[in-house]
Structure 1
């Protein structure tokens, strides 16, 4: 089993963790110095003397890139062992790292998450950030995960190609991993670990505004595309209904136009699918989903507007709100799945 530690401007806690890992088990340890600079060379030199492999970025490139650098290196070793990712700031206890390693051996094709329970004294920004991300992830995917931001994660060796292909250079990489896991054929398993925050988590390099924005960006972009399409849909719905007094024609005509706009925005800007082959693959699935959503849309609106006599605009707002989550989940899972776990594809470089 290889322990991979991305590290930026570490302190002596990194050396303490290495000593404990070496004492507990003679595992391979790979550390990625993510552009820490000359002031930290002494710490990385000490880690190298303890038997660790040190990979160095000339400048800070972000945690996601550091992890992919490590995955790429481990992949070239042609080892069959799994990989455990841990942070360098003392928040992950050696005993918990070993527990995750044991589960990786028993559960291939799973992402093993060291799940903090957030009991005791937890810094306010950490508690709030984890709660917000957990709720947004559940809303987006329909899956509940207790700790979406944990840096303690375990992977079987056959997942390395996929791990190298996931987009994201900073902290958003770890969220993208969770968002794409199921479509790539991997399950998520949480293992409870100790919650450790040292000195109010001052050593964290997470930037609350910039990195939070990057983590939530896929959801923000999808919501923006949906809002623009919805405005177009609402306008056309009211216009066609005013001209024809035919609800079915208004719903179908408005949805055809807005779905074309929504498909283009999601393919280009949300799920980053482009090129003729991606269009041929995703377009039939997208418009099959449109037919399903349209059927549900009309059924719900008919029940609300024609039977319950709810005003048309309110009926539309309620219907779209109900179908928003289904649309996002379906597009991520079936239309733009990024199924990079397929063994038939050329291995991806990091």
Structure 2
């Protein structure tokens, strides 16, 4: 008996769906949870027949709620069942027949005895049967994911995944109702320090993936908004810090009016930067990166980065000015934009990075 639970979210299954489920049963999977995500009434008989199988449980959404919601409801169902929650893990399978049973078996075998593991069934997108839209979408998404989260994954949108049972609570209530949920699973796994392992599977696309319910515009936008969410937060905090810096610079110039001009400007600059950088540090730590590290483990590293950035900015602008003669302010915008991206990655992956294992 296979010690893995199969979860299949499905909307309006085709004629091959029932034979596919029965093949899983023949392979000795004893716990198969099918989530009928608001299928039409014409498909009711398919689910009723499958629900009669002792190995199959059908959960039903009265209306279509999305793949992410279907997976989360299945995970909650498993966690609330004393017997199911003791299994080795869960294998999520798409309902369109594009995941071979042999690959499902492969992931189940990989999960045996494992803890804190997320497995990804990885396809080869260079094969001739892959639609160009899927190839392009995967290329863009995985490169953005690498840039923003530092993890090089070959297939960020695969629906064939294995999760050890102990990490199900980490994914049972996270953001994402449709396909963006699967992207958020990867982000949460990285944030929590959960091991991600890629397992090569067959690359199957039936009729150019025409039965997929993935909306190329709506779902892609949701995925990319989610990918950039942290970066947008970082940008908004940085802009707010800039406004605070400018505002306090004016205030301190007024307060220190009794000093000589040079001393007044230098003092106002340092005091304003102290206020704005403290705000930036606090909000980045708590809100942007949600770091669990204590402040004493991050404060000195953060201000060390601030000092290095300031020095790098000044020296780079001076050197480029001497080399090109372009106006300093234009060079500073260019240099600081590059340093801004570097700062984001350093803060995310070094200073504020924390695991919750």
Q: How many Å separate the matches in 2 of 1:206 and 1:232?
A: 37
Q: 2:8 aligns with which of 5, 9, 13?
A: 5
After superposition, residues 41-120 of structure 1 pair within 5 angstroms as: 41-51=44-54, 52-78=56-82, 79-81=85-87, 82-118=89-125, 119-120=127-128
**Post-superposition offset of 1:164:** 0.9
Q: For the Cα contact (< 8 Å) 1:32–1:55, is it kept in 2?
A: yes
Q: 2:130 aligns with which of 103, 122, 126?
A: 122
TM-score (norm 1): 0.81
Q: How many Å separate the matches in 1 of 2:104 and 2:97?
A: 12
55-64 or 146-155: which moved more?
55-64
**Post-superposition offset of 1:37:** 3.5
Q: How many Å separate the matches in 2 of 1:144 and 1:261?
A: 29
Q: How many Å separate the matches in 1 of 2:267 and 2:146?
A: 33
Q: How many Å separate the matches in 2 of 1:17 and 1:247?
A: 73
Cα distance 1:327–1:3, how it changes in 2: closer, same or farther (>3 A)?
same
**Post-superposition offset of 1:124:** 1.8
- SS of residue in 1 equivalent to 2:65: coil
**Post-superposition offset of 1:92:** 0.4
User: CA RMSD, aligned part only?
Assistant: 3.5
Q: How many Å separate the matches in 2 of 1:329 and 1:17?
A: 47
Could you say which residue in structure 2 is the equivalent of 1:28? 31
Could you say which residue in structure 2 is the equivalent of 1:18? 21
Could you say which residue in structure 1 is the equivalent of 2:258? none
Could you say which residue in structure 2 is the equivalent of 1:38? 41
Could you say which residue in structure 2 is the equivalent of 1:345? none
TM-score (norm 2): 0.79
Aligned length in residues? 333
Q: For the Cα contact (< 8 Å) 1:301–1:316, is it kept in 2?
A: no
Give ranges in structure 2 of 5+ residues lacking alignment: 251-260, 323-327
Deviation track 1:158-215 (CA, whole Å, cap 9, x = no partner) reads: 1111121322211111111111213213111001101111111111111112111111
Deviation track 1:127-168 (CA, whole Å, cap 9, x = no partner) reads: 111111111101111111000000100011111111213222
Cα distance 1:62–1:240, how it changes in 2: closer, same or farther (>3 A)?
same
Could you say which residue in structure 2 is the equivalent of 1:347? none
**Post-superposition offset of 1:240:** 6.6
Deviation track 1:54-98 (CA, whole Å, cap 9, x = no partner) reads: 011122111111111111111122332111111010110000010
**Post-superposition offset of 1:335:** 4.5
Q: 1:304 aligns with which of 291, 304, 316?
A: 316
Cα distance 1:293–1:151, how it changes in 2: closer, same or farther (>3 A)?
same
- SS of residue in 2 equivalent to 1:4: strand
Instruction: Determine whether 1:208 maps to 2:216.
Output: yes
Q: How many Å separate the matches in 2 of 1:6 and 1:100?
A: 18
- SS of residue in 1 equivalent to 2:172: helix
Structure with the larger RCO, 1 or 2 (CA within 8 Å, 6+ apart): 1
